[in-house]
Structure 1
């Protein structure tokens, strides 16, 4: 820590005299004609006066970039900003801090989920858990890319970033962009696999499976689109100055298309959940509890909409180290918030267990007596309605009681089920208590 602080102080002391000595003579010759009068000599020079409807970049960048090479244009912008005493914009610290905080929270939540379910609780380990672990691994790679991109200068104006660091920013952002597409898809697949666990077979199964396949295809397709948008691939991070022969597709167009597909899939995923909850045979309070759980997941759709406002900035390639920052942190919010929301049902069960509010079974009512049903239920249960006789492998559309029980097991919605199927097998017969009398 001491050595790093000393390095920073020495760097500031070394650069201070240089900044103080910057004059208009340091401007590249190609940039001199971009000033209506003489080049600026200080902050009060007429050339430093900005159009009220334009900022510093909009005032000087078009001419500098058209008259000079990219390197000379950045030099001209940097010198002009120093002479005109323009404020230095820097949000790199905020990006790094946010990525660290969100990564820590999401990792902790998923760690608790996996630890809880490896003990055989909340239905045990399933495909939804495997896919969320894959998602967090891929997302961690994306988070590392975002953190390093901010470390090298993403979140600062490009003319304030050393040229060798600009290349590193683009390379790290490239990794983060591909990881974002794959991590986002893995999180949604995890949630859809969770639907299969609680809703099981029936008319919803094919719909959920179709969404899973579509999510995987879209995730891989857009990840490849990001990875292969430039030919050769390395021109994404090395071709920013125009000196490398190669060509790139539109990063903005790819981002817009992926965001639209993403929002459509989010809405479809929520629609499936609400549709299936509506068909559950349970009291309205229990339905409301389940719907509230899924509504928390709709926050991801809101974040996806908010992320759209940052996408237009991607079309500005002159100052991408600054313009990539909003897209980066909105993507981070979407990735990690999605993982936390996908873990909410397991966290609900974990909270019930830790607080001692979990119950070993569900409450039922038969012949006026309330009793506690045992967790050790037979694989086949006979009910008062012979059409509702079911086993673990029966179709849930014909046997809603199994589906309701899955919701209890996976989501922790443990309230009385007086309007649900009444079990009348001798195995669960409640003993008569003479002290209660006939009630």
Structure 2
């Protein structure tokens, strides 16, 4: 307390004229009396350098060199998150910051909607592989997608819990226990995110090898060699990054003291994020570029070409999210308002995960929709055919037709049931020309 009072007195002497014009609210004055010594020291060291004092625009600016300097000093000099929170609350009360900012409902709607779409594509992928629906059966790529869906679901649950504990709100409106709980969930999201985005890339590479397998008796092509190298690289990177993010601090509870800090007994997590982000973007580019030459050789319809383009566009969106995440991470290294400042990067990371899941499931889902479309057309053709030809096969007696006006119910159904087999018709529908498909629908 003595240190805090001394801090205020020094500022009064430094800027007596400006200080006289400042009217602190009772809440701000109370917060000033409870400022930790490390926060007071940062104020004494930093504010005179910028010729600024409490309550002025330079002090209340949310961004700028003064804010960055104060944030770096507090993060580097204060031993706990509670100390930083005390300084942030004092600044918010002194500058009359808003206390009603809340974008949590918007985040909730986006996350639930995107997770629902990703889940639909994942289910459609496995339905498409079902042999009873004339699917190709399950393989390694489907197993990887099933495994990948576990961390995607876990990441979604962690995100919902973070919303419950304050993400999307200003940190100074929350209690320290709430913020620490939020930080724990934030820590849990990091290995889940890494595992999710890497596994989706692995499933795509395995899908490439399933579509274009190596021919027996022939040597390895550059395409197959590159795919195998990527498989081992993705598996190794997934394991290494998961362990590196999980055990970045010793003991583990140091990891949530500061969500954006690398000091103490922690590895340099900021450098780790950049290293992983660079690998992630590189893998994105390689995985998207791998099948291009083989796809260009295919002689397919315009509709199928549009489908390929759509799949690549979705993959590019995921890569764009990863690039945006890389650019925003640097500004967060000195962030103090973590529950608000980390909202954007966290939301775009979730979107990247969901879009990656959609991208790796799009080819199989497109195949399912195509089969359903052809099947619906075939059934429609069969229905029109039966309506047009059935009167020729109704077994009715002339007595019934002449003497009973209600013949069009039971007798019609009996006649249709007794109709002879219909010979195959010569029509242009390719599906009807296929005897196996015809017998399957019958």
Q: Same fold (TM over 0.5)?
A: yes
CA distance in 1, matches of 2:118, 2:329: 25
Matched, 1:338 2:338: no
Q: 1:354 to 1:229 in 2, by over 3 A?
A: same
Cα distance, 1:72 vs structure 2: 3.9
Matched, 1:223 2:242: yes
| Equivalent of 1:299 in 305, 312, 317 | 317
CA distance in 2, matches of 1:356, 1:287: 14
> After superposition, where does 1:37-436 map in structure 2 within 5 Å?
47-51=54-58, 54-55=61-62, 57-58=67-68, 61=71, 70=80, 71-88=82-99, 89-118=101-130, 119-201=132-214, 203=221, 204-238=223-257, 247-280=265-298, 282=299, 285=302, 288-289=305-306, 291-296=308-313, 297-316=315-334, 318-356=336-374
Cα distance, 1:112 vs structure 2: 2.1
Q: Report the TM-score, using the length of structure 1 for normalisation.
A: 0.67
Maintained 8 Å contact 2:122/2:361: yes
CA distance in 2, matches of 1:168, 1:135: 26
Maintained 8 Å contact 2:191/2:246: yes
What do residues 101-147 of structure 1 show as CA deviations (whole Å, max 9, x unaligned)? 21122112211221232235342222221111111111111121122
Query: Which blocks of at least 5 consecutive residues in structure 1 are unaligned?
Result: 1-19, 37-45, 361-368, 377-439
Cα distance, 1:268 vs structure 2: 0.9
Query: Which blocks of at least 5 consecutive residues in structure 2 are unaligned?
Result: 1-24, 45-52, 216-220, 379-427, 437-442
Maintained 8 Å contact 1:313/1:323: no
CA distance in 1, matches of 2:316, 2:110: 22
Q: Report the TM-score, using the length of structure 2 for normalisation.
A: 0.67
Of 94-103 and 341-350, the range deviating more from structure 2:
94-103
SS at match of 1:181: helix
Bigger Cα Rg: 2
CA distance in 2, matches of 1:135, 1:26: 47
Maintained 8 Å contact 2:84/2:336: no
Maintained 8 Å contact 1:96/1:151: no
Q: 1:284 to 1:252 in 2, by over 3 A?
A: same
Match of 1:391 in 2: none
SS at match of 2:57: coil
CA distance in 2, matches of 1:154, 1:256: 23
CA distance in 2, matches of 1:343, 1:150: 28
Q: 1:201 to 1:294 in 2, by over 3 A?
A: farther
CA distance in 1, matches of 2:26, 2:435: 79
CA distance in 2, matches of 1:67, 1:133: 45
SS at match of 2:252: coil
Cα distance, 1:337 vs structure 2: 0.4
Q: 1:349 to 1:104 in 2, by over 3 A?
A: same
CA distance in 1, matches of 2:318, 2:77: 44
Of 250-259 and 130-139, the range deviating more from structure 2:
250-259
Corresponding pairs, count: 341
Cα distance, 1:24 vs structure 2: 0.9
Cα distance, 1:331 vs structure 2: 1.1
